[in-house]
Structures are given as structure tokens and as C-alpha cells.
Amino acid sequence: MELSAHLVSHLTAKGYEVVDHGPKVYDALDDYPSFCINAARAVVADQEAGVHALGIVLGGSGNGEQIAANKVKGVRAALAWNESTAKLAREHNDANVIAVGGRQHSVEEATKLIEFFLEEPFSNDERHVRRIGKIATYETTGEIVE
């Protein structure tokens, strides 16, 4: 919750529009999938409406949060654990959601990872566009494009 509260404040101060999809209070026994799915659905809805949107999902390791977000059609969630993975998620994969493990990083480290992700543009390189297209085809049709 400390990381989440910090990010809402920090990113808002940097000019980002932040929508917090919960939880509002810490509960060690809560079930994170609904929070991650709601955040991912909001990203997709904004993107479908023509609004530039990226999402952030947080957890202990970030693994389960990434998996939950990736169940939403149209989401490409990436687990970031260093500068390179955060930047490449955007540059090569046009990831629209970043997952970060709050128990894996200090608040300062996690904040930097998220900033790297938010600030990195997609390269639009043909090979990356092609690969993302193949993933999207499978996601929507079940067809594996060679």
C-alpha cells in the first residue's frame, strides 16, 4: 500500500492522470486478481476510445498480477525487474501494463522502473509490429500465424 500511495502522489505530481483500481486498505488475505483485471480492462477501454493509456499492477512479486492482467483481451502486461526489462517492454512489445513486485524493490527502485516504462515509446519497428500482430491474431482467433 505504501508503494501504491506513493505512486499515485508521485505520478499525479508529474502530470499523469492516475486512476487507482484498489485496494484502498491493506489486507494480506485479499485476492489481487480483481484489482489487476479492473486496471487492465480500464486500459483497454481507454485505448479503444482513442485515449493513450498505460496501466500499472503491483503485488509482492508481480508475477500473479501480470498473469491476471494478461487474461484481459488486448492487454500486453510485462513484469519489470530492471531498467532494461521496463524499457524493452514498451520499446519492443508495446506493453500497455507493467507489473512490479513491491517486495522485490524499494519504493525508489519501483518508481524508477515505472518511470522507465511510462517514458519509453514503442519503436514501431516492423518486426515488433509483426510479432505483436501474430500474438493479437492468436488472442482473437486462436490461429497460430507462422
Query: Could you confirm whether 65 is annotated as catalytic?
Result: yes
Query: Could you confirm whether 92 is annotated as catalytic?
Result: yes
Strands (E), the chain: 55-59, 77-79, 97-101
Backbone angles phi, psi at 131, to 5 degrees: -65, -45
Q: Tell me, what amino acid is at 88? A: L
Q: Which of 6, 21, 92, 128 is catalytic?
A: 92
Active-site positions? 65, 92
